[in-house]
Amino acid sequence: MRLFYLLCLLVLMSCSKEIEVEQVDYERKIVVDGWIENGRSAQVLLTMSSPFLTEYDSASIRATFLNYAKVTLITGSGDSEVLTLSRRDEFFPPFVYKSIRIKGEVGEAYKLEVVYQNKLVEAHTSIPQLPHVEGVWAQAVSDTSMLITTTLNDVVNERNYYYSQIKVKHFDTRFHPSGDPLLNDNIFDGRQIDLQIKRSNQADPLNIYGIDKERPILPDEYALSDTVFVKVSQIDEQAYQVLNGIYLDHLTQGSPFSFVDQKTRTNVIGGIGRWTGLASRNYMVFHQKP
């Protein structure tokens, strides 16, 4: 009987063959990840998109970075500045194009132009009014963990779009989206609302961060010992639609029920990605012992 199973196994192995999946013709595109915030410089990361079957490691990701592009920031009032390539170790690859002279202003519009190897990419955004934030505070929910909540006073008869980011001291190197970071006021127009700022992990392109292994707390909660920097922003409708599309795509990755032919929203003409204006209020939050 054992010999029979062995013969069957050998037959099956002899009948099997390797299947090679051929990569279809792929047109690489310039990818823009850029934002400008009130009182701060514009920051833009530029990479080149890669085919779906590309194997990713630190070397291949570095190779996608575009470090010889001309990136120009143009304000709605006609002022312009060519962005400077700077090293920022909190990003990977650790380089970002940034403005030196022009800082974001509430109510201003901004155009971004990228020229690389005779390719022109452009995008438009604006910085809306600052959100009306009543406050941000921490509340203990156990002996070791806490929740963070903000209270928003929404403006009546006005479409408002909110975006929240966090940075946990000693664990995050930069601001990144909170859990469920996007909100619009369709169901609470003109009212006051309490919004939970949920914890999320800093994005990691190589999937080696693994912070949850070090932090035995529930996904949305923070440790009582955490100091958390919270950014509550208002964004325009186009930025909301683009960020929401990127966020939903991230949630459906790996889901057998997601549409494989769906295209992520973008406001970049001639390329892909996002160019986002942020009207932000910043807070530092920690648990105060009674």
Q: What is the pLDDT of residues 126-160, one digit of tens each?
A: 999 999 999 999 999 999 999 999 999 999 999 99
Same domain, 137 and 217: yes
Helix (H, G, I), strand (E, B) or coil at 211: helix
Q: Rounded to a whole number, what is the distance in angstroms from the first to the last CA of the chain?
A: 73
10 Å CB burial of residue 186 (0-12, 13-18, 19+) is exposed
Mean pLDDT of the chain: 83
| pLDDT tens, position by position, 224-260 | 999 999 999 999 999 999 999 888 876 655 444 444 4
Query: Which residue range(s) make up the domain with 112?
Result: 30-126
CB–CB of 35/275 below 8 Å?
A: yes
CB–CB of 278/105 below 8 Å?
A: no
Long-range residue pairs from 168-171, CB within 8 A, at least 24 positions apart, any chain = 168/199, 168/222, 168/226, 168/227, 168/228, 168/229, 169/226, 169/227, 169/228, 169/229, 171/202, 171/211, 171/215, 171/226
Across the strands, what pairs with 194?
151
Q: Among 56, 61, 59, 26, which residue's Cα sits nearest to residue 45?
A: 61
Burial track 242-276 (b if 16+ CB lie within 10 A, e otherwise): bbbbbbeeeeeeeeeeeeeeeeebbbbeebbbbbb
The one-letter amino acid code at 29 reads: K
Same domain, 191 and 111: no
Q: How far apart are CA 70 and CA 67, in angstroms?
A: 9
On the question of pLDDT at 261 being above 80, the answer is: no
Same domain, 142 and 60: no
Overall pTM > 0.85: no
Point out the domain boundary residue: 90, 111, 126: 126
Give how many domains the chain has, as a whole number: 2
Same domain, 57 and 151: no
Same domain, 76 and 137: no
Same domain, 138 and 234: yes
55 domain residue, yes or no: yes
Same domain, 187 and 114: no
62 domain residue, yes or no: yes
- At 80, which CATH number? 2.60.40
Q: Among 219, 214, 162, which residue's Cα sits nearest to residue 193?
A: 162
Written as six digits, the tokens of 181 are 């970071």
48 domain residue, yes or no: yes
